[in-house]
Each structure stands twice: as C-alpha cells, then as structure tokens.
Structure 1
C-alpha cells in the first residue's frame, strides 16, 4: 500500500494513511459535499462519454476490410497513447503558467520526480489497458458493434465486486439489486453474430469468443478500479501530471508489443502507419478523447458512474450500427436497454444510499443544526440580558416619578 496524504479540494480534509478504507472514506466525504458545479461536470462527462464510447466500436467495425484489419491494432493503441501524451503535456504547460503565487512549480524536476514516485501504481492500469485495447479489436472479429458494447457492460458487476474488495467501497442492498438488474438487462439481449460450426485457429469460434469475452470483462474491470485507486490516492497531484505518467506507461507497453510483433512477424510489421485509413485516424482521435475523459471520471467521479454512462452509449451504438451497417435492433435489445435504464435509476436513487452514508450526512446536518441552535441561544441570552438591563433602568425611572 502507498503512504502519503490525500487532500480533498472540496472538503479540505487530509488522510495520512492511504489504505483502501481511507481512500473510500475520502471519496464518500467528497461525494457528500459536491456542489452544483460538480454535478454539472458529471453530467457533461456522462454526455461526452456516451458519444465517444458509442462511436468507438462503430469506427473499429468500419476499419475492417473483408472482415479483417489491414493494420496492426497495437499500432493504433500506441498512436492513441502518443496523442494523449501530447495533450497532457500541453495542458500541463497551460496549468503551470496559470499557477498561483507560492504553489509548487509543476514543471520543476523535483516536482516531476516526486510525483513519479507517488504515482508509480499507474503502471498497473496502464498495462491492463494495453491488453484491453488490443482485445477491443479482437472482439470485433467475432461480434457486431452493438453486441460488443452490450458484453462490455457486464464489466460493471465485476467492477462493483473489485471496488468492494480493493477500495472497500460500500453498496446498499438496493444498489446490489440494481447491478443484478443491469446484468439481467444485458443478458436479455441475445444477438447472435457467430455462424454455427465455424472454426478459427483449430477451435470452435464460439469457444474462442467466450474466452475473449471472459478476459474482455475482467481485465478492463481491474484496470478501471486500479486506475481510480491510483488517481484518488494522490488527489493533490495534478490530473494532467498523472495522465502523463499513465499514458507514458501505456505507450511503453504498446511499443513493447510492437517490438514483439516485429520479432514474430518480421521487420515489415514494425511500420506503425502501415494499413491505416481515415477511419483509423479518426478512431485514434476518438480513443484518445475517450481515454482523457475517463481519467476525469476516475479522479472526480467514480467507476460505477463511468460504466453506467458507457451502458447508455449502447443505445447510440445500436442505432448507429443499424443505420450504417443494417444490423437489426431486435425486441430483446430494446427490452434489455429498458431494464438497464431502470437499473440505472434504481442505483442512483437517494433511497439506495448506504445507511452509513445517510448517517454521516444526517449527523453533519444535526451538528450544523446544533451549532445554529447554540448560536441562537447565545443571541437570545444576550438579547435577554440587554432587555433585562433596559427593563431595570426603566423601572427605576418610573419609580422615581411616583409620589412618596
């Protein structure tokens, strides 16, 4: 476990021991005190994520030629990380130029080295993301875009379990029921995109697809949870500086993948621009934007909200897939989406809050009310004392006017 200090920008609290429980408590306190501006940010994050995540499988599908990719998927992931690194550097320079007097210089070597040591855990989600981004292309060889999106939404249940184990996140019974309802809604969609009896690499395609699906669900779920833990555990570090480390690690892992591919397939596969088209270039930009947006989700919101917003993106993916490629939107798909929306409403309902969280909020309200009552009683005492003095003075004046 990492040791250090968490400082929440909203509440100003500091936690010295960065255990999973301390990170979870810091997040709960931060979430209970969010402002309307922060809620507006979450809303914009959800809208942006729905658009970008919805476009991603469509562009991957458009990049296929005769059912195959003419380019190396690892090269797309490497170029995506490179674009995100450029964005992080530009924003870091912009943030450094607008720093307040007395703050640490973000561009100094000492700040960079210290932040690199504190955020070394970001290498774990970077490696997992490198694996997941490659699997996104492989999954498109076996499923259509809408089905890939629906399968990826199954991650939310795995993420919830990992959040409880790793970050000690607490969920109410209603929220667990909402997650189960989400899983049911996803399962209702039974889109079949694999021909019966087809073979690939000597095994039934369905078997390979199920293996890829299992890895496709578990790996990114672990990446999301570790990423949220790493970003929140160093909350006082600039998000652009953290992104620089995360994307830097990701670029290194993908570059190692390119080298490994060149060793097995020959030097010709080392050309990272070979086989790319306008669709892949647009895909790189969309992936970069989606990755940057995800970091804001994990730092300032949470992974569950991120996965639910990705689930909503399924509607966009399904409609676009039907309009562009003629894929049929079945009744199962429509019913599944309806159940997902019910699950989403149930999970974020005020009635679904954890009892401890409600108790904390209630205790804070009671404490504030107690302080107000104490202040009011002090004011009443002061006013009563002043009135008593005035009353005594008036009584003496009236008494002197009475006849003796």
Structure 2
C-alpha cells in the first residue's frame, strides 16, 4: 500500500496537494471579470520547459557527482540516451495527449467551478482503469472494481448538482448578480460536462501509455525519460502558441503571481507523477486524483465561498470508502 513507507507517503501527500491546487490556482488567477486572461498554451509551454530544464540539470548533476571515477567512454554511455532518437520517438503520443489536456483544463474552467470540475474529473478513474485493462491485459481486483462503481455514483451526483445550479444561474436576471453567483455556486454546463468526458478519456490513455513506455524502458534513467517527454511537450505547445497567439499581446500577457505559482507547482507535480507512474503505477495515480478532489473542495469552500448542496456532499463522502478500497491489498 502507498502509505506503508514514509517516502511513499511523502510523495503521495505532496502530489495530492499539488494536484488539488491546480484548479484552485487557475481560478485565483482570474481577473476582476472572473476571466482567465493568460494564453494557456504559454503556461503549458513554460511548464514543459521547466520540466525539461529541471530534469536535464538534475541528470547532469547526478553524473558529475557520481562517487566513482568514470572514463570518457563510460561518461558518454551515460549521456548517450539523451541523444538517442529511437528512445525519444515513443514519447510523441503521450506528450501530445498531455499537452491537449493541460490546455483543456484551463478552458473547462469557463464552464464549471473548481470543486465540480475536480470531482467530475474523477471520471478519469474508470476510463483509466478500462484503458489499463484493455491495453495491458491485466485484471483489476474486485475491491477496485467496487471502488469504480462508487466513483460512478460520485460523478452522477455531482453532475446532477452542477446542472441544477447552472439552471439557477441562467434563470437569474442581470449580469452583475449572476456573475457573482456563478463564481460562488456550483455550476456545470452541458458543454463543460462534454469537455470533462473528453479530458477524462485523453488523461486515461495518456497515463496508461506513458506508464507502459516507462516500465518497458526501465533501464533508462527517469530523468532522461522526463527530458524526452518534456521535449515533445515543448515542441507541441510552441506550435500551439504560434498558431493561437494574438499578435497584439505579449507572451506573458495576463500573467500574475497566481500564474507563476501554477507553473512552479505543475513543474513539481509533473516530476512527481512521472516517478509515480514508473515505480508505483497508474492505480496509485488514480488514488492521488481522488484525494485531490477532497483537497480542492475543502480549499474552494473557504476561498470562493462555494455553496455546496446535498448531492455534492454525497459525492465527496463517497470518496472516502473509495480511498479505502483502492488502498486495500
């Protein structure tokens, strides 16, 4: 189980906090009109660039600080994977999928609130489990199958609650009043629900594919693997930025302190999640996702004065037996 050793518990807890903070920080970064003003492609590009530089420097420092002396030939053998084209190619697909999802999570915030998104994004758990079963051929234990059923109920409860709140907001009169209500109450449009479904499927496929790649290439240092993955992320997001950028706006237009925190926290979380996928697997990542929903809900209640109804509370309460079932051997 993930909490059976102190280092695993530390990694698990840190990832939960970082994962749960993402949506909250995006909403804190909004302007006075409750709009995200930065170009999401630039933020994701900065995150990928940060992961690339961090992983590369960490790997080079590891080589320089190795206690045993190395010949030039041995040093080249350790550095060579960084330039091995064949080792880079498998990371194209997951890098593209991650880039799509990292941009999608920003746009989804226009159609839902932080807590509703975080709970409904748990739909990536059954989709990931299904894709995990289909792509790897491994059976999912019975207790985890029950947990997936619980999470389905969580999604249904939160969806109903969010759609009802959206109807109330639409029926309200006056932009000034409805805009404040929209930021305080749960709300979920049908387009938002569709985008979350797409987000969940893409996330599931990306998670399973990158785990399979990392484990099949277990002999390659994880920092090198992060360099490979981030490299394609940089290229893809640079292309997205060049095709969507407004010529009148600068690269950092719309940035603030919260945007900077988004970049820093997601660089750290990306490094941690890659470690989780390689050494602990996707089921642990799913457990992190479930816990982060509770964190986001708790924080959103105080920061955004979010009104939580019975259906939402039911969804959150069901997360606890889900955590138990996922952690049970």
TM range (shorter): 0.7 to 0.9
Structure of greater relative contact order (alpha carbons < 8 Å, 6+ residues apart)? 2
Q: Is the 8 A contact 2:143 2:328 kept in 1?
A: no
1:97 is aligned to 2:76 = no
2:269 aligns with 290
| Cα distance in structure 2, aligned partners of 1:139 and 1:106 | 45
2:190 and 2:296 map into 1 onto residues whose CA distance is 25
Alpha carbons 1:145, 1:317 under 8 Å: kept? yes
Contact 1:186–1:337 (CA under 8 A) maintained in structure 2? no
Q: Report what 1:123 is aligned to.
A: 92
Question: Partner of 1:162 in structure 2?
Answer: 131
Q: In structure 2, what is the Cα distance between the partners aligned to 1:298 and 1:86?
A: 20
Residues 111 and 128 (structure 1), Cα distance of their counterparts in 2 relative to 1, 3 Å cut: closer
Alignment match, 1:111: 81
Q: Which residue of 2 aligns with 1:184?
A: 153
2:12 paired residue number: 46
| Structure 2 runs not aligned, ≥5 long | 173-187
Deviation larger for 211-220 or 70-79: 211-220
Superposition TM-score, scaled by structure 1 size: 0.70
Gaps of 5+ in 1: 1-30, 199-204, 351-404
More strand by share: 1
- Could you tell me how far 1:339 is from its partner in structure 2? 1.6
In 1, Cα distance between equivalents of 2:224 and 2:144 = 34
Residue 105 of structure 2 corresponds to residue 136 of structure 1: yes
Contact in 2 for aligned 1:96/1:106 (Cα 8 Å): no
- Name the CA distance, whole Å, in 1 between partners of 2:280 and 2:7: 9
Secondary structure of the structure 1 residue equivalent to 2:307: coil
Out of 265, 268, 290, the residue aligned to residue 248 of structure 2 is 268
Deviation at 1:106, TM superposition (A): 6.6
Shift of 1:290: 1.2
1:312 aligns with 2:296: no
* 2:255 is the counterpart of 1:255: no
Deviation of 1:108 (Å): 5.6
Match of 2:49 among 67, 82, 87: 82
CA distance in 2, matches of 1:334, 1:214: 21
Would you say how many aligned residue pairs link Structure 1 and Structure 2? 305
